Structure 1
């Protein structure tokens, strides 16, 4: 499992009870989403299902891809507006 820094933005931060940054350990995005949902509740789980993820600044679309140690994972919920 990789030690990660997770950063929440916009609605993801609100769903994580105002947490902007936290540490977590996970092997993949799939695992990370489960861990964060258990930690913060189903409201965040719903956001995570629709969110985009950046791993060290690069978009990651494969939930099973291995996360590198000490990576920063940005959680970006869908944004409204034009």
Structure 2
């Protein structure tokens, strides 16, 4: 089981929740599961998001996720 934490626009797209528990083998599967739960708006955010897995940036969406990992969903941020 993974702990997923949503930030900024990802939190809004997930219906305002900040954390949930999900079972998924990799980020591609995680995206499918969460899109099924929360709909197309979150699916779009997940396509553009960056992910931290236990605090480390993860670029490979097919890499196996460690059991009990924390995955942070970070949408693109505006500003500067």
Displaced runs of 4+ in structure 1, greater than 4 A? none
RMSD over aligned Cα atoms: 0.3
Deviation of residue 41 (structure 1)? 0.3
Report the TM-score, using the length of structure 1 for normalisation: 0.97
Counterpart secondary structure, 2:77: coil
**Which stretches in structure 1 are left out of the alignment for 5+ residues?**
none
Aligned partners of 1:44 and 1:64: how far apart in 2?
Answer: 19
Aligned length: 80
**Which stretches in structure 2 are left out of the alignment for 5+ residues?**
none
Deviation of residue 71 (structure 1)? 0.2
| 1:29 counterpart = 2:3 | no
